Structure 1
Amino acid sequence: MKLKSVFDASEIKSEFESAGINPNFAIPIWKYVIQNPDCVWDEIPSLPSAAYSLLHSKFKTLTSSLHSLFHSSDGTTSKLLIKLQNGAFVEAVVMRYDTRLGMLGGKPRPGGIRSTLCISSQVGCKMGCTFCATGTMGFKSNLTSGEIVEQLVHASRIADIRNIVFMLLPWFDDCDQGMGEPLNNYNAVVEAVRVMLKQPFQLSPKRITISTVGIVHAINKLDNDLPGVSLAVSLHAPVQEIRCQIMPAARAFPLQKLMDALQTFQKNSQQKIFIEYIMLDGVNDQEQHAHLLGELLKTFQVVINLIPFNPIGSTSQFETSSIQSVSSFQKILRETYKIRTTIRKEMGQDISGACGQLVVNQPDIKKTPGTVELRDIEDLHL
């Protein structure tokens, strides 16, 4: 019989309640497992006697294992290759940001290193975005809530995780890897986030960001189910025609319906919305596209994150926008539409840990020349 993850909150709650055990015992179990990942159930102190036999018969401390770990040469990025119980692989990426490198009020900032974990929600993806390698591998399976939480458990052994991002980053490899579309695995993602907000993790909802291509019906539920959690939208084009060209799933979610959903989300949540926009040379990076995007978003409270495209192999149909195009695009959004706009700094390229290049092997990829802004997800809330 396939054993379940002890971090699968609904499963352990159901099993404990059926056995007459207080489900709150899950919290000290989680804490002990995090501190002692190689433990056996009988080592956990002070549980009801019935809990031990139930744990032995139904649950595993960890259903996944850390298969491989890669660190970038500059120490900013670590990539975890995690093997699931069914033999599939997913990746999680830890990005470290030194707050002392920035400025606050014209003065050096206090603080130190803080770590953000980019986390997987699926193996593969159904969305089929043409610039994303995960789209080429198709959908494999949803992760359980326990498998999602276990990525945080593994990552916590190498860094003190402060922020969680469920991101739609492109992946490229010949094995079953990928982050997926979080809102296509809605129930598991919601349950996993709720676990992360509790002891022993106790993350703040404002430090958890969920990204989506724009699953309208799920966006409409998100603030009610996870109040305070941030929303990032992979928009990537200012008009429906271009969105459908590069993101086939956009046909099911017309741009106007998406904008209506975002307007409702923002009205109810009173939060900024993060807009992810990948820069594709000659496709969506011209000045007219910047003006269209500015007009589309000028009534929203948003932060637009421009993402330099990373080629995902020699057969990629897209090319990286020039530094001049990216800078001009940003200038229009900032100066004409007064929209806060950042440019993503790529981290971990030497371990293929950057957006679009998350792979087990290490291809010969050079950094895009030029200077881009260093931005941590947490700073975008300011």
Structure 2
Amino acid sequence: MKLKSVFDASEIRSEFESAGINPNFVIPIWKYVIQNPDCVWDEIPSLPSAAYTLLHSKFKTLTSSLHSLFHSSDGTTSKLLIKLQNGAFVEAVIMRYDTRLGMCGGKPRPGGVRSTLCISSQVGCKMGCTFCATGSMGFKSNLTSGEIVEQLVHASRLADIRNIVFMGMGEPLNNYNGVVEAVRVMLKQPFQLSPKRITISTVGVIHAINKLHNDLPGVSLAVSLHAPVQEIRCQIMPAARAFPLQKLMDALQAFQKNSGKVFDFLILQEFLGLSDGNSVPFFFNQVINLIPFNPIGSTSQFKTSTKQSVSSFQKILRETYKIRTTIRKEMGQDISGACGQLVVNQPDSKRPPGTVEPLRDIEDLHL
């Protein structure tokens, strides 16, 4: 019988309740497993005898394992290749930022190094975005909530994770229940992350956006817009056909009204038709996050924009349209860990060497 992850919250709580075991024992079990990753169930102290029997028969401390670990040449980025119980692989990326290098009010920021974890929600992806390596895998399966949380468990042994971004493999809102349950676990003990430090990225799954605020109040939303005109979006993001731009904007407007959150619009392609009647109406409290294209192979139809063209584009958005705009300077290109580069083909292959540039943390976009 396939054993379940102890971090599948609904599963273990349901099993405990059915067995007459107080579900409050789940938190100390999680704490012990995090602190003692190689433990066996009998080592966990002070549990009812029925809990040990149930844990042995239905759960594993971790259903996934850290298969390989890649570090960028500058030490800012680490990519985790994680092997799931069914033999499939997903990738997660730790990005480290030194807050003292930024500026706040004209002064150096207080603090030091903080880490953001980019998490995967699916094996592969069905969205088929032409600029994303993950899309070339096709869709394989959704991750369980426990498999999502286990990425944080593995990463926490390497860094003190402060922020979570669901920007790894897969479309998070296509695995809605798994992602929502995983985030709820991350918000409580023993992780106790703040909702404002968790960002879910989506290509625009409207029906899920309409539910998200009620299910995860306080969590941030990033939208991979990539073009402000529906026709262009459909060319580079085939799934956009199911999510018409105007309906997406209506959903986002309702989300922002209910949540009061600032949106991150992620832009890859050249922004055209800003004043066109068919383009995005910029009435949001928003941040435009410009992402230079990261190479995904010699056959790609896209090329990375020059720094000059990206800066010129940013200047137009800021000065002409008065839109808060940042430029994403990618981390981890030399380990294929940058935005759009996550793909699992040959887990044991080595990544080519290269150089990377520092990146502003996702939470800085909301300051």
The TM-score normalised by the length of structure 2 is 0.95
**CA deviation after TM superposition for structure 1 residue 110, in Å:** 1.1
Q: Distance in 1 between matches of 2:212 and 2:199?
A: 11
Q: Match for 2:319 among 335, 338, 347?
A: 335
Structure 1 gap segments, 5+ residues each? 170-178
Deviation at 1:322, TM superposition (A): 2.1
- The answer on whether the counterparts of 2:115 and 2:163 sit within 8 Å (CA) in structure 1 is yes
Query: Following the alignment from structure 2 to structure 1, what is the Cα–Cα distance between the partners of residues 261 and 339?
Result: 25
Report the alpha carbon displacement of residue 101 of structure 1 after superposing the two structures with TM: 0.4
- Per the TM alignment, residue 365 of structure 1 is displaced from its structure 2 partner at its CA by 6.9
How far is the alpha carbon of 1:293 from its aligned partner?
11
Are the equivalent residues in 2 in contact too, given 1:4–1:63 (CA < 8 A)? Answer: yes
Q: Distance in 1 between matches of 2:31 and 2:56?
A: 18
Checking the alignment, whether the CA contact within 8 Å between 2:76 and 2:95 is kept in structure 1 is yes
Matching of residue 193 in structure 1 with residue 189 in structure 2: no
Q: Which amino acid aligns with 1:308?
A: P
Letter paired with 1:340: R
Maintained 8 Å contact 1:290/1:332 = no
In the alignment, is the contact (CA less than 8 A) between 1:64 and 1:85 conserved in 2?
A: yes
Q: Aligned pair 1:162/2:162, yes or no?
A: yes
Tell me if structure 1 keeps the 8 A contact 2:287–2:365: yes
AA matched with 1:264: A
**Pair 293,223 (structure 1): closer, same or farther in 2 beyond 3 Å:** farther
Cα 1:54–1:106 change in 2 (3 A) is same
Amino acid at match of 2:171: E
* 1:357 Cα offset (Å): 2.9
Displacement after TM superposition at 1:291 (Å) = 5.3
Residue identity in the other structure for 1:91: E
Q: Which has the higher mean CA deviation after the structures are superposed, 288-297 or 64-73?
A: 288-297
| Comparing 355-364 and 34-43, the one that deviates more | 355-364
1:256 Cα shift?
0.2
Name the Cα RMSD after superposition.
1.8
Which ranges of structure 2 fall in alignment gaps of 5 or more residues? none
SS, match of residue 362 in structure 2:
coil
**What SS does the aligned partner of 1:317 have?**
coil
- Which digits, 9 at most, give the CA deviation of each residue in 1:275-311, with x for residues without a partner? 11114xxxx35xx455569972421001111000012
Alpha-carbon contact 2:331-2:359 (below 8 Å) kept:
no
Deviates more, 1:257-266 or 1:130-139: 130-139
**2:146 corresponds to which letter in structure 1?**
G
Structure 1 residue 367: Cα displacement: 5.7
Residue 248 of structure 2 is matched in structure 1 by 258
CA distance, structure 2, for counterparts of residue 248 and residue 115 of structure 1: 33
Secondary structure of 2:268's match? strand
In structure 1, the partner of 2:57 is 57
Equivalent position amino acid for 1:24 in 2: N
Where does residue 172 of structure 1 map in the other structure?
none
Counterparts in 2 of 1:138 and 1:120: CA distance versus 1, 3 Å: same
Shift of 1:37: 0.4
Quote the offset at 1:193 in angstroms.
0.2
Alpha-carbon spacing, 1:254–1:347, altered in 2? closer, same or farther (3 Å): same
Please state whether the residue corresponding to 1:300 is helix, strand or coil: coil
Contact 1:290 1:329 in 2 (8 A): no
Show the counterpart of 2:301: 317
Q: Take 2:306 and 2:277, find their aligned partners in 1: how far apart are those partners?
A: 19
Letter in 1 for 2:290: L
2:119 is aligned to 119
* 1:354 pairs with 2:338: yes
Q: Distance in 1 between matches of 2:38 and 2:359?
A: 37
Contact in 2 for aligned 1:16/1:22 (Cα 8 Å): yes
Q: 1:364 to 1:64 in 2, by over 3 A?
A: closer
Return the alpha-carbon distance in structure 1 between the equivalents of residues 34 and 275 of structure 2: 49
Percent of counterpart pairs with the same letter?
Answer: 85
Q: Which residue of 1 aligns with 2:221?
A: 231
Query: 1:112 & 1:293 partners in 2: Cα distance?
Result: 46
CA distance in 2: counterparts of 1:321 and 1:31, whole angstroms: 46
Length-normalised TM-score, structure 1? 0.91
- State the SS of the aligned residue for 1:256: helix
> Given that residues 343 and 373 in structure 1 are in contact (C-alpha distance below 8 angstroms), is that contact kept between their aligned partners in structure 2?
no
Check if 1:245 corresponds to 2:235: yes
Higher relative contact order (CA 8 A, sep 6+): 2
Structure 1 window deviating more from structure 2 (290-299 vs 265-274): it is 290-299
2:93 alignment partner in structure 1: 93
1:135 positional shift: 1.3
Deviation at 1:38, TM superposition (A): 0.3
- Given that 2:114 and 2:160 are in contact with CA atoms closer than 8 Å, whether structure 1 keeps it comes out as yes
Q: Distance in 2 between matches of 1:104 and 1:293?
A: 37
| Offset of residue 339 of structure 1 | 1.1
Q: Rate the CA distance shift 1:330–1:362 in 2: closer, same or farther, 3 A.
A: farther
